[in-house]
Structure 1
Amino acid sequence: MNYLEDIKRCRAVRPFQLLIWILVISASCLLSCKKSDGDREPLSSDTAKPGPVSNVTVKNFNGGAVISYALPSTNNLLYVMAEYKINNTVVRQTKSSFFLDTIRVEGFQRSQDYTVTLHAVSRAEVKSDPVVVTVHPDIPYFQLIRNSLRITPDFGGINIKADNPARRSVGLNMIAIEPANNRLEIQNQTFLNSASIDYSIRGYEAVEKKFGVAVTDQFGNVSDTLFVDLTPLHEELLDKSRFSVYRQFTDATIGYGWEVPFLWDGLTTEAGGTKGWHTTVGPLPKAMQVTFAVGKLYKLSHFMLWARPSASYGYGNPRDFTVWGSSKDNPQDAVTPGGSAVGTVSGDWVVLGDYHFPNPPSGLLPGNTNAADAQFINNGVDFNVPFNSPSTKYIRFVIKDTWGGTDYAHMMELSFYGIAQ
């Protein structure tokens, strides 16, 4: 019988009969699956002790090792288990399927000898006699990162730099004197996995203070603390009352009454019909760009950006953008594309910074973000201006792309920090 005849028969079947057919087919599938699962049953009544692994070799790497071995010829072998201490107290356990002849052990605190106990384990959870192996991991990544730490003064705080070419996930714990009890306490924690760590911590007066930084990893290991005595650089919030529109021909067309001055009116939410800056498509396509003056010459340290709350990670909220600046009294318009490298010059303009708005902290994809992601946007996002960027009197934002992939862009508020020149 061909497919056309099958279709005709199905059309002739009454709904009740079709339902019976579906139930029968579904039950058959379930029985088939159950039978397949039985072929891989995890437990066994065979309580015989399996033989141990043999011909063990070790290949060390940073913070761990890969152990290779020959499996015993036990018929009901389920997995090989490794037990080991990664420091003086913490015991880890790693398992590897009987399909493999290697097992990975990691999380060791130092580059030194550690003992690892291997057991072959049967389907009845019976362990073989132990095989003890010595590993000597290379220097753990968190220790390598600690060795490359550099702490320098920054505007309103400190800047932490370190090398992380392997892009390992590590935590930075910043320690400083707590004024309430005059004791050293952790005052800032962050987790990073970038190849080049460059992280600033702000909120401190320009007086000498003791700061310390320690590195942690995902296994709970903590490095020793690098302490420095330094004085944060003075910075101030730029006076927004001195800001003014400096509209240029290449600036985007304004849409829906969301004018440029709303970017510095101090309002970051959309409560009560509050507006920000919003572009629209004009008669001729233009860059998603806005230009304004900040009143006098400043060396910028960082800025806060509040995206449109109702748009979250979507619509016209900036995703990748470039900030250009000019120290000229009346800078001439020029082509200033988004995505340009720091220091790029175009006419009277120079790139102060090239930025990516952080991905949703939850790790969820745009369109599926949660309340925590929305709160992250509502709080405003802090962006560093590279220390070697020139001083500026004028600022231009060029939005390269948005979270919604739109041809328009919007922002609610901007705040800049730095020092007057």
Structure 2
Amino acid sequence: MKIINKYSLLLFMSLVMISMFSCKRNDGFSNTPVSTDKTKPGIITNVKVENFNGGANIIYDLPNSDNILYVLAKYSIRDKVSRETKSSYYKDTVVVNGFAQSQDYQVTLYVVSRAEVMSDPVTVTVHPGTPVYELVRPTATIAPDFGGVNVKALNPLKKNVGIIVTAFSDVTKAMEVEEQHFTNADTIDFSIRGFSTDARDFGVYVTDEWGNISDTLKANLNPLYEELLDKSKFFTYTLASDDALYEGGGWTVDKLWDGLLTDPGWHTNSNSTPPFTCTFGVGKTYKLSRFNIWGRKGYEYGHGNPRDFSFWGSNKDQPADAVLPVTAAVGTVIGDWTNMGNFSWPPPPSGLPPTSPNQSDKDFFNLGVGFNIPFNAPSVKYIRLSVARTWEGGTLCHVLELSFYGKPE
């Protein structure tokens, strides 16, 4: 899961940087005086305030002058933290944002001339709505998960927030940051791993891009036991509806658990149609918690590497064949098989199209990706991989390696 969280962090920072650069391009002013006219400009008039969550739009009329460069807003978003926002003379609105609370704040506005001469101040009172980080925090929950804890929260406005998870450290004897999950998704759901089953103090708080921090949700929890499934116990369990294998090069189902991240792996023949399916047993019954999957190197975000896929499971001793649909809701039961989860390989972190990934995108792809199995998925002895769509969208599919974690039963 660390891989996904790094991807989330990259996405969060990219959004923030894009926003910053967009503002700079559209300001219409620079730091270099463009006039020698030292006349003090007039003040803004007819001021109106439109409050929103964590900020406000301040709308005004500019003085009648050709010597105006921008309007400057000065304000504090919390104790001892001040900000400045500029809006060019092309606009009639300045946006002030990042306030820590929903309360009255004073904003001082100046008209600034092309010679960087400031007008007399005009002070405006804004009363922003509840900041987004404060909206998210009451929805946060933390619960035991396999090898750690699971955190959920809601972000209905889809704004940039950070969900910070802390845990008591046996080394420092203090609460330490264990995970920083940055996102603008409306539904937040992630887990952190690597803990024993001993009771431990955990905490969750929410932050935003202006450094505001919520109070901390605290809990003492026992992570659930999990282990890496023993791949030496895995075996191929071929069903009639499974895809025929690529002939040549040793591409077989059992290569999915040989521990090698190089060719060959599992590879269907070139005349297959979705869903591309293979089946195997895991040796005994497990309550699965998560898995990692690796695609074929050299074909990152292309060829037969999986894009959208599902895992189906059965706890029967000898589950019967069933023709699986291309897509199905989680929990769907077909014969002896239950859909345990639908998953999508994340796109290139750079934002480039899958057909043109850069080297960093390829490096990210080749690390493999990890996903949680839904907590309410049934225990299984057998697993079917079912790929609904590959990155190329063609008539073949290949996967190099799979690793599963869970609790034996």
TM range (shorter): 0.7 to 0.9
**Rounded Cα–Cα distance in structure 2 between residues aligned with 1:126 and 1:321:** 61
Deviation at 1:365, TM superposition (A): 2.8
The CA deviation string for residues 231-276 of structure 1, in whole angstroms up to 9 with x for no partner, is 00111111111111111222222224311101001112x2xxx421
Name the amino acid aligned to 1:259: T
**Rounded Cα–Cα distance in structure 2 between residues aligned with 1:152 and 1:228:** 8
**Rounded Cα–Cα distance in structure 1 between residues aligned with 2:296 and 2:363:** 12
Task: Work out which of the residue numbers 325, 337, 347 in structure 2 matches 1:337.
Answer: 325
TM-score, reference length from structure 2 = 0.87
Secondary structure of residue in 1 paired with 2:298: helix
Map 1:112-123; keep pairs closer than 5 Å. Answer: 112-123=103-114
- Structure 1 residue aligned with 2:14: none
- Structure 2 residue aligned with 1:309: 297
- Structure 1 residue aligned with 2:150: 159
Map 1:6-405; keep pairs closer than 5 Å. Answer: 43-255=34-246, 256=248, 257-268=250-261, 270=262, 274-282=263-271, 285=273, 287-405=275-393
Name the amino acid aligned to 2:81: V
Secondary structure of residue in 2 paired with 1:241: helix
**Rounded Cα–Cα distance in structure 2 between residues aligned with 1:317 and 1:90:** 49
Contact 2:275 2:324 in 1 (8 A): no
Higher-Rg member (1/2): 1
Deviation at 1:90, TM superposition (A): 2.7
Secondary structure of residue in 1 paired with 2:123: strand
- Structure 2 residue aligned with 1:19: none
**Rounded Cα–Cα distance in structure 1 between residues aligned with 2:327 and 2:80:** 49
Deviation at 1:43, TM superposition (A): 2.0
**Rounded Cα–Cα distance in structure 2 between residues aligned with 1:286 and 1:369:** 25
Q: Higher RCO, 1 or 2 (CA under 8 Å, sep at least 6)?
A: 2
Structure 2 unaligned regions, length at least 5: 1-27
The CA deviation string for residues 25-55 of structure 1, in whole angstroms up to 9 with x for no partner, is xxxxxxxxxxxx9xxx982333322211111
Secondary structure of residue in 1 paired with 2:254: helix
TM-score, reference length from structure 1 = 0.85
- Structure 2 residue aligned with 1:4: none
Deviation at 1:148, TM superposition (A): 1.0
Q: 1:321 to 1:286 in 2, by over 3 A?
A: closer
Deviates more, 1:94-103 or 1:291-300: 94-103
Secondary structure of residue in 1 paired with 2:268: strand
- Structure 1 residue aligned with 2:12: none
**Rounded Cα–Cα distance in structure 1 between residues aligned with 2:237 and 2:81:** 61
Structure 1 unaligned regions, length at least 5: 1-36
Contact 1:167 1:195 in 2 (8 A): yes
Number of aligned residue pairs: 377
Deviation at 1:291, TM superposition (A): 1.4
Deviates more, 1:409-418 or 1:323-332: 323-332
CA RMSD of aligned residues (A): 2.0
Flag as ranges the 4+ runs of structure 1 deviating above 4 A. Answer: none
**Rounded Cα–Cα distance in structure 1 between residues aligned with 2:116 and 2:218:** 50
Percent same amino acid among aligned pairs?
52
Contact 1:252 1:286 in 2 (8 A): no
Q: 1:81 to 1:413 in 2, by over 3 A?
A: same
- Structure 1 residue aligned with 2:8: none
Deviation at 1:286, TM superposition (A): 5.5
Contact 1:83 1:92 in 2 (8 A): yes
**Rounded Cα–Cα distance in structure 2 between residues aligned with 1:279 and 1:42:** 67
**Rounded Cα–Cα distance in structure 1 between residues aligned with 2:374 and 2:254:** 26
